[in-house]
Structure 1
Amino acid sequence: MGRLVPAVTRALDVLELFLDGPDTWSAPEITRRLGLPRTTAHELVTTLVARNYLTPLPDQPGRYRLGVRAYQLGSRYAEQLDLAAEGQDVARRVAADCEETVHVALLEGTDVIYVAKVDSTQAVRMVSAAGRRLPAHCTAVGKMLLACLPDGVRQERIPADAELTALTGQSVTDPAALHRELAAIRERGTAVEERESNPDVACVAAPVRDAQDTVVAALSISVPMVRWSEERRAELSGLALSGAAELSRRLGSRRQR
């Protein structure tokens, strides 16, 4: 790997101040925050303004906001993102760590659709396929996605008189019980299901966020019951959270930076 260029690093440090801080900065504020010599900070700001990465505020002399060039780069990056492709790559990495089946799924109405999947390398494993559709309330990914919906939307999709399909004898079919579970999932940040979609499988799931920090997908790890335990649940929950955070970061989530 080649040597890092200090001037480029400092220029990027200036731009990255806008990721999680105020919408506008002055040169003195940049100088103090980054610990730069005053002359260096002014030169960096002048260069970024000249290249349209920063723009002066017309009504606040000496203050700057992100310029159109930064927006163009971000838009170009967003255009080339492919949730299925990125999800497949992250799922592959998570599966290599846990040796279990990993899925990435989207919510459509009250169903989940699996858009990425990597199989376990173990002899006893879950059998599934990308593109499969299942009732959301019977799966860990689906519960995670339902739990993250705005309250009004969630109530509309699962009203008090909803008839919930049972895939196994363990499936939740009472809307009130489901809403209580979804509230616990929102509090906990992960979802778990045991034998609710398949009598021989348990799953854990975590939310995936996009550049607007909206939950757009969920990543799950599926485990045959013969390898399931409370210790394994805790371990896999951590791996699911880590994988979901990595996929969120790739999708531009500011929360994961």
Structure 2
Amino acid sequence: MVREEVKKVAASRRAVAVPSLQKAVLILDLVGRRGRLPFSIIQKTLALPKSTTHQLLKALTNVGALQILTDGGFMLGPKICELGILGIRQRTIDSLSLKHLELLAGQSGFPCEIATFEGRDAVVLASASPDGGARSAGCEGKRWPLNRVATGKALLAFLDEVDRKRLFADLDWTKATPRSIASPDAMLRELDLVRERGWALDDREALDDTSCIAAPVFDGRNRVVAAVATVGQADLITPERYEALAELVRNAANAVSQAVREA
């Protein structure tokens, strides 16, 4: 009963936060497109209440999304610049990974994919088939909750602790299958194991008949930006094959990491 009440409160908070988030994005878009702008122009152009504009500008400045100029105007801040660079890199990861995914699919005999963060989900950027051929997923990449699949575990395990805690607070821990990890504490123990061995396992935790082994991809600053995985029927990806498949997956992930660093 208490858990249900907590869920309701969290949902109501998210509902209130959405309009504010939309307004904040409108401010960033306006400043990004038109350059240095004073408070009055931002407020009048977007037709926002002065109090709302002030609160949003303060919040965006506090997180580095905006920067205050000496004349009181606003420009895009360092955090937006950093995220822009990361976004460009992530959009190139799919093309950089294709040949490595194709090789992994051929070696493992299973479909392979590479995924990255998008909110609370791991989103597939590209995939390959053991029959040959790899392709980018574009805007149609499959989405899986980070706490349900091996790619999500590989991403979470090597994420900054502050960001990981933020994501944990927003994840749905309801079981998708009987094998799903159903609590943050249990997931933390699982992520310790992922870091220890360098790869993650999803054994029928998202789908009853599917298992997956994944390994992280890092950029030039050693930040986790994606995860490579091999995916197959659970009765074929058996414990006896875990180590051999994990070695292939880690080799592919390391190759993609090297390509990302050199790009």
Cα deviation digits, residues 188-229 of structure 1 (max 9, x gap) = 211011001111111111011112221100000112122122
Establish whether residue 237 from structure 1 lines up as the match of residue 246 from structure 2. yes
Aligned to 2:114: 104
Identity among equivalent positions (%) equals 29
The correspondence for 1:149, drawn from 154, 159, 170, is 159
TM-score using structure 2 length: 0.59
Matches within 5 A, 1:60-99: 82-99=92-109
Query: 1:50-69 residue pairs with structure 2 within 5 A?
Result: none
CA contact (8 A) 1:218 1:244 kept: yes
Residue type of the alignment partner of 1:133: R
| 1:67 corresponding residue in structure 2 | none
Compute the displacement of 1:113 (Å). 0.3
* TM-score, normalised relative to structure 1: 0.61
Q: Contact (CA 8 Å) 1:162, 1:175: kept in 2 or not? A: no
The answer to whether the 8 A contact 1:135-1:165 is kept is no
Write the distance in 2 (CA, Å) between the matches of 1:232 and 1:244: 18
Match of 1:207, SS?
strand
- Runs of 4+ in structure 1 off by over 3 angstroms are none
Q: Please tell me the residue identity of whatever aligns with 1:113.
A: V
Question: 2:240 and 2:95 mapped to 1: Cα distance?
Answer: 31
5+ long unaligned stretches in structure 2 = 1-84
Contact 2:175 2:182 in 1 (8 A): yes
How far apart, in 2, do the equivalents of 1:83 and 1:116 lie? 9
For residue 243 of structure 2, give the secondary structure of its aligned residue in structure 1: helix
* Equivalence for 1:220: 229
The size of the alignment, in residue pairs, is 171
Match among 170, 174, 195 for residue 204 of structure 2:
195
Letter in 1 for 2:253: A
- RMSD (Å), alpha carbons: 2.7
Q: Using the alignment, how far apart are the partners of 1:238 and 1:93 within structure 2?
A: 13
Secondary structure class of the residue paired with 2:250: helix
- Residues 97-125 of structure 1 deviation map (CA, whole Å, 9 limit, x = unaligned): 11101010001222100001112449xxx
- Aligned match of 1:132 in 133, 139, 142? 142
SS at match of 2:222: coil
**What SS is found at the alignment partner of 2:95?**
helix
Aligned counterpart, 1:24? none
Deviations 1:169-188 (A, max 9, x none): 21112111111111221222
Q: Deviations over 1:32-76 (max 9, x none)?
A: xxxxxxxxxxxxxxxxxxxxxxxxxxxxxxxxxxxxxxxxxxx9x
Structure 2 residue corresponding to 1:177, chosen from 176, 181, 186: 186
Equivalent-residue separation in structure 2 for 1:155 and 1:248 (angstroms): 25
Query: Which residue of structure 2 lines up, in the alignment, with residue 158 of structure 1?
Result: 168
| Higher Rg of the two aligned structures | 1
In the other structure, the counterpart of 2:72 is: none
Distance 1:239 1:215, change over 3 A: same
Identify unmatched segments of 5+ residues in structure 1: 1-74, 123-127
Contact 1:105 1:217 in 2 (8 A): yes
Q: What SS class does the counterpart of residue 147 from structure 2 fall into?
A: helix
